[in-house]
Each structure stands twice: as structure tokens, then as C-alpha cells.
């Protein structure tokens, strides 16, 4: 596929700011992990070296490759090199199970699959399962590649279509149906979010960002990774979250910006309290996303870092719908107002807009909205209407000042004896108990009804049983909202992006937990 000058300019949109910073501040720090550090000038050279290697392996503009790895300088360089060439990248975190990766490869049919071993033994294990050929590179380190039709085991190379030039990445959502959905994100989508980090989060070259959210997920990729590099800031990449390791880097590298899921902030607050650690004078911005924020976690994080925990809301399909604002007093769990250029509409089941302050399904449209699901036009039509509105399937209410509050997902609402129970409300009540680190609530069908189940992870050294938690809830919730059973678990299962894997709760934790 030949690129016109106009097409190339569009293709380069996500990497162009990075290369521009390499010209204006070549010695400024850009990327670092526990093994490697690159200035902006060195990063630009590494991108070009990696791009030449991709060309040498037959990867051209319009191609679609799949990349498996975890946060590292090597992975970042590969992703930027692909953008430099106008190549669409299927982003995959190595923490997926091998059969999941094989199913995704079979669906997206990449021309090549790259396994980046840096900071990721799991990527090396997946490479063996794919029978990938190992090789070495001065910028990617030890990695492995599967070429051609063998990458997908599905079709011959001539059956692999050229990607539209504006599609930068495909991210597969976990979903609840078991069928993977590939979200096509454009250069415009990603650049809009990265640019919003500068305008709404005041990201500047002086900032030093800790990146533990996976750059293979939309928040870690667009807000953290591209947000930092588009601003000319420096980025420390961590492959896995450990409270002790995180705190060490925050202090040694004088980190100014930290984003993560609420569970991460809960564990940081717990760790620092246990170790009598306080004082992060360089921190100016902490942000939560990927899961509902709990007021108790918010207060603990703010006390630890000395700044407001900003909140946000979005999905892989429509990342960064709403953000709280840096100049506003925030004493609740609002996800803020829509980003400039983004619209939201709260609708009843019949499609009509609900009255102000009432709960409705959140619909959104704007420059953050995906192009659609890859090779799944039918599913795309189910969630996007002809006017460009996307059905998030989340339930929310909007205040008169435009701030949005998320109360749950339409698919997660529990109908108990005819009453609606929103899991988030029950989770917030449980998290208010001083012994609770975080909680997750799900519904389970029983004969003629649905029961509320709660799963709780306690703070280290804390003591509480199910009876004590039920007494705590009795003062906060109506009887129909209270869980019929509470499971005390050693740890709640978390995805790589910090979200609780609710689909695993009923099967993996019930036998081992203490139930009431």
C-alpha cells in the first residue's frame, strides 16, 4: 500500500510529537524501566532502528501486527516504530492466557506476531506456545516473531486485508460473552486523549510519570504513555504493580504524576501506613480510572499524596468520556464533566432522555469514540447508532452542573425481589468499613429471585468477619440491598489494568472463602 503525503501525515499523528521533541530537546529523559533509559534523541534513533527492522521483515504501511508484552522500554519502542510506519498494532498484554491470545490471533489474522521478552517472562512462554522464532535486537532485546499465515493459523496471506490508514490500534475487550471484540482506535482517538492530558491535566516537559497501567490497554496507552510523550515529559515504565517497588520509584525518581485503578491506590495507602511512610512532595497529580472510585480510598490516597485524587470515566470503545477538573473542589465520587468536544446523553430503556438527576443509560459521542469493532459490523451496529452515539451500557445520573455519577452497569444491576440493587452502592458501603481494603459485589440467580453476593479483601492485619460486616451494612443500606452472603477472600482477582475480574468471583473464590 503506497502512502500519499496526506495519508502519511495522518498516520504519523501519534508518533509525530515524540519525534518533534527529539529535535527540540534531544537530551531530555524520555523513557526508562529497571534496565534501560533513553533520552528523546535516543528514543527517536531507536524508533527508526526498529522501523527498519520491521520493514526488513516485510511489515509495511497498512499491515496489521500483534504485539504481546508488558510495560518496558523495548515494548514502547516497538509500538512507536509501528506507528512510524503506519502499521496497525493489536495490543496484547502477556498476562492473558495462551488460548486467549491464540483465539485473538485467529480472529485478527495479523501478518506477524511479536513477543517482547523485556520485563515479561510470560511473553517468552507464549512465544514457545506459538512456536515463534527467537531473535535479538539492539533496541528490542531478546524477542520472538511469528511470520505470515502461521501468525493466525486461519487464512493465507492473500486473505489478510489492508487496514484503513487512520486505525492505529486494536484492543480486544474481555467482555462477558466469551467472544473477543476488537476495538479499532484511530490516531485521532489516541491523539485527542493524549492532548487532553496537556490541556486538562497540565502535563508539561517537567513532569515525571510513573506508568504501571499496561500500555497495551487504552488508559495506559493513551492517557499515560502517549499523554506523557506528547507533552515531552519523562516516563518510568513498570511491568507489574508492587506497592513497595512503586513507592521506591516514586521517591527516588521524584515522580510528579501517578495514574492507576482504585485498587492500586488502596494498596499504596495500606503499604505506606504499615511502613510508616509519608510525604511525597513532588507529586502534583494523581488520577484514578478503569473502575469506580470509593470515597474511603479517595480520602486515603489524598492524605498520602497531599493532592486531590482526580477521577475519570471511559471504556475501551470510548475512552476518556468524562474527567474531573484540576481547579474544582472534589469531595465526592463524581467522574466529572465530559471532555471538551465529547457529548453525553442519559436515556431510558425506550431511548428517551431521562429527567435531570434521574438514572439512565449513558450514551456518548465525540472524537474519543472508536471506529468500530474489527470484523464485527453487526456488534458495532448494536452499540452505535446512525448519529454516532455509543451505548456504554453503564448507568449514571448527571447533576445540573454537568458532572456525571456512575451508579452501575445495565448488565450488572441485580433484581432482588423486584427491587433494583446497584453493586457500586453496596461496594461503597463495604469499603467504608475500616477493615476493608476493597470489595466487589455480584448477583447470582436463585430459584425465583436473584441474590446479592459480596466479596471482600481485608487490609493487612485487619480483623473482621462476615457478621461484623453485615452489622456495618445494616446501618447504611436498606435490607434488600444487603448481601445474602459475604465472602472474605485473601485477595480479589485483578486484571492487568487493576479491575476486579468479577467473572471469576463465583467460581474461584466461593469454595475457599468464609461465607455468611
Q: What would the pLDDT profile of 316-352 be if each residue is shown by its tens digit?
A: 999 999 999 999 878 888 999 999 999 999 999 999 9
| Residues 498 and 290 sit within 8 Å (Cβ to Cβ) | yes
Predicted confidence (pLDDT) per residue in 346-395, tens digit: 999 999 999 999 999 999 999 999 999 999 999 999 999 999 999 999 99
Share of the chain above pLDDT 70, in %: 91
Mean of the pLDDT values across residues 423-437?
90
State the chain's mean pLDDT as an integer.
Answer: 90
**Is the pLDDT reported for residue 6 higher than 50?**
no
Architecture of domain 414-509: 2-Layer Sandwich (3.30)
Predicted confidence (pLDDT) per residue in 136-158, tens digit: 999 999 999 998 655 655 444 45
Per-residue confidence band for 515, with pLDDT thresholds at 50, 70 and 90: very low
Boundaries of every domain in the chain: 5-187, 414-509
For residue 176, what pLDDT is reported? Answer: 41
The residues, ordered by sequence, that sit 6+ positions from 217 with a Cβ below 8 Å of its Cβ are 91, 93, 171, 316, 496, 497
| Grid cell in block for residue 417 | 425481589
Q: In 10 A of CB 5, how many CB atoms?
A: 7
For residue 305, what pLDDT is reported? Answer: 97
Query: How far apart are alpha carbons 20 and 231 in whole angstroms?
Result: 11
**Is the pLDDT reported for residue 413 higher than 90?**
no
For residue 192, what pLDDT is reported? Answer: 97
For residue 308, what pLDDT is reported? Answer: 95
Query: How far apart are alpha carbons 280 and 35 in whole angstroms?
Result: 24
For residue 11, what pLDDT is reported? Answer: 45
The residues, ordered by sequence, that sit 6+ positions from 398 with a Cβ below 8 Å of its Cβ are 344, 346, 356, 357, 404, 405
Predicted confidence (pLDDT) per residue in 247-280, tens digit: 999 999 999 999 998 889 988 999 999 999 999 9
For residue 160, what pLDDT is reported? Answer: 64
**Is the pLDDT reported for residue 4 higher than 80?**
no
For residue 513, what pLDDT is reported? Answer: 40
User: CA dihedral defined by 376, 379, 383, 386, rounded to 10 degrees?
Assistant: 70
For residue 482, what pLDDT is reported? Answer: 92
Q: In 10 A of CB 204, how many CB atoms?
A: 12
Closest CA to 233 of 249, 266, 212, 209: 209
Predicted confidence (pLDDT) per residue in 115-142, tens digit: 999 999 999 999 999 999 999 999 999 9
Per-residue confidence band for 289, with pLDDT thresholds at 50, 70 and 90: confident
For residue 501, what pLDDT is reported? Answer: 83
Per-residue confidence band for 53, with pLDDT thresholds at 50, 70 and 90: very high
Top pLDDT among 105 and 407 is at 105
CATH number of this structure's domain 5-187: 3.40.50.12780
Find where cell 443500606 sits. Answer: 477
Mean of the pLDDT values across residues 56-85?
96
For residue 509, what pLDDT is reported? Answer: 63
Give the pairing type, strands 360-365 and 390-398: antiparallel
Which helix (H) or strand (E) segment is 511 a member of?
A: none
Per-residue confidence band for 159, with pLDDT thresholds at 50, 70 and 90: low
For residue 12, what pLDDT is reported? Answer: 57
Concatenating the DSSP letter of every residue in 399-464 gives: -TTS-EEEEEETTT-EEETTEEE-HHHHHHHHHTSTTEEEEEEEEEEETTEEEEEEEEEEPTT---
Which helix (H) or strand (E) segment is 265 a member of?
A: helix 262-274
The residues, ordered by sequence, that sit 6+ positions from 273 with a Cβ below 8 Å of its Cβ are none
**Is the pLDDT reported for residue 454 higher than 50?**
yes
Find where cell 472534589 sits. Answer: 330
Q: In 10 A of CB 282, how many CB atoms?
A: 15
φ/ψ of 513, rounded to 5, equals -85, 170
Amino acid at each position: 500500500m503506497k502512502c500519499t503525503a496526506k495519508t502519511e501525515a495522518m498516520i504519523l499523528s501519534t508518533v509525530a510529537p515524540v519525534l518533534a521533541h527529539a529535535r527540540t530537546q534531544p537530551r531530555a529523559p524520555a523513557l526508562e524501566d529497571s534496565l534501560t533509559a533513553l533520552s528523546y534523541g535516543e528514543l527517536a534513533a531507536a524508533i527508526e532502528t526498529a522501523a527498519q527492522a520491521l520493514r526488513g521483515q516485510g511489515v509495511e504501511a497498512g499491515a496489521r501486527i500483534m504485539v504481546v508484552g508488558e510495560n518496558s522500554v523495548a515494548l514502547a519502542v516497538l509500538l512507536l516504530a509501528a506507528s512510524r510506519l503506519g502499521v496497525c498494532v493489536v495490543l496484547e498484554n502477556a498476562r492473558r492466557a495462551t488460548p486467549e491470545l491464540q483465539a485473538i490471533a485467529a480472529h485478527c489474522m495479523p501478518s506477524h506476531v511479536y513477543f517482547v521478552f523485556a520485563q515479561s517472562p510470560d511473553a517468552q512462554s507464549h512465544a514457545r506456545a506459538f512456536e515463534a522464532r527467537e531473535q535479538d535486537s539492539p533496541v528490542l532485546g531478546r524477542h520472538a516473531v511469528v511470520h505470515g499465515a502461521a501468525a493466525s493459523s486461519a487464512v493465507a496471506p492473500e486473505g489478510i486485508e489492508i487496514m484503513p490508514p487512520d486505525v492505529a490500534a486494536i484492543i480486544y475487550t474481555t467482555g462477558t460473552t466469551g467472544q473477543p471484540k476488537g476495538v479499532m482506535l484511530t490516531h485521532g482517538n489516541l491523539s485527542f486523549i493524549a492532548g487532553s492530558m496537556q490541556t486538562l491535566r497540565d502535563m508539561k516537559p517537567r513532569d515525571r510519570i510513573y506508568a504501571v497501567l499496561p500500555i497495551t490497554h487504552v488508559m495506559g496507552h493513551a492517557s499515560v504513555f502517549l499523554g506523557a510523550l506528547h507533552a515531552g515529559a519523562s516516563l518510568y515504565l513498570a511491568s507489574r504493580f508492587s506497592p513497595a517497588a512503586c513507592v521506591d520509584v516514586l521517591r527516588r525518581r521524584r515522580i510528579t504524576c501517578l495514574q492507576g485503578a482504585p485498587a492500586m491506590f488502596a494498596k499504596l495507602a495500606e503499604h505506606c501506613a504499615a511502613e510508616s511512610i509519608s510525604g511525597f512532595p513532588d507529586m502534583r497529580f494523581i488520577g484514578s480510572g478503569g473502575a469506580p472510585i470509593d470515597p474511603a480510598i479517595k480520602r486515603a490516597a489524598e492524605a498520602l499524596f497531599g493532592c486531590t485524587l482526580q477521577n475519570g470515566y471511559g471504556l475501551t470503545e470510548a475512552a476518556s468520556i468524562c474527567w474531573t477538573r484540576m481547579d474544582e473542589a472534589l469531595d465526592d465520587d463524581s467522574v466529572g464533566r465530559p471532555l471538551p468536544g465529547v457529548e453525553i446523553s442519559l436515556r431510558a430503556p425506550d431511548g428517551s432522555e431521562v429527567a435531570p438527576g434521574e438514572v439512565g443509560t449513558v450514551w456518548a459521542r465525540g472524537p474519543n469514540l472508536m471506529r468500530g469493532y474489527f470484523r464485527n459490523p453487526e456488534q458495532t451496529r448494536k452499540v452505535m447508532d446512525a448519529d454516532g452515539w455509543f451505548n456504554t451500557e453503564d448507568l449514571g445520573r448527571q447533576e445540573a452542573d454537568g458532572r456525571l455519577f456512575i451508579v452501575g452497569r445495565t448488565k450488572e444491576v441485580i433484581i432482588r425481589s423486584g427491587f433494583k440493587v446497584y453493586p457500586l452502592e453496596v461496594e461503597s458501603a463495604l469499603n467504608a468499613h475500616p477493615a476493608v481494603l476493597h470489595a466487589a459485589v455480584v448477583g447470582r440467580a436463585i430459584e425465583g429471585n436473584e441474590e446479592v453476593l459480596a466479596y471482600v479483601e481485608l487490609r493487612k492485619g485487619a480483623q473482621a468477619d462476615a457478621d461484623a460486616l453485615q452489622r456495618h451494612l445494616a446501618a447504611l443500606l436498606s435490607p434488600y440491598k444487603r448481601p445474602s452472603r459475604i465472602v472474605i477472600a485473601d485477595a480479589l482477582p485483578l486484571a492487568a489494568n487493576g479491575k476486579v475480574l468479577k467473572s471469576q468471583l463465583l467460581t474461584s473464590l466461593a469454595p475457599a472463602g468464609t461465607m455468611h
